[in-house]
């Protein structure tokens, strides 16, 4: 069972998407993580 910040196969939530593959990103320790590509954005990025 996936936790609240884990990706889920039925995850159709709205939110940030991976610019490479379009997968839903999940939030982990001030980072948005793609299940396919790893960390995409972190909180130190100025455009957040």
Structural domain of 20: 14-48
Query: What's the confidence (pLDDT) of residue 13?
Result: 59
Reported as a single tens digit per residue, the pLDDT across 8-33 is 554 455 788 999 999 999 988 888 99
pLDDT band (50, 70, 90) for residue 40: confident
Tell me which of 13 and 41 has the higher pLDDT.
Answer: 41
Query: What's the confidence (pLDDT) of residue 47?
Result: 62
Within a domain: 20: yes
Query: What's the confidence (pLDDT) of residue 48?
Result: 52
Within a domain: 27: yes
- With tokens 């130190």, the residue in question is 44
Domain count, the chain: 1
Within a domain: 22: yes
- For range 37-41, the mean pLDDT: 87
Within a domain: 28: yes
């Amino acid at each position: 069972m996936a936790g609240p910040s884990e990706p889920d196969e039925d995850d159709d939530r709205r939110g940030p998407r991976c610019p490479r593959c379009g997968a839903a990103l999940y939030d982990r320790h001030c980072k948005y993580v793609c299940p396919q590509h790893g960390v995409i954005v972190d909180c130190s990025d100025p455009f957040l």
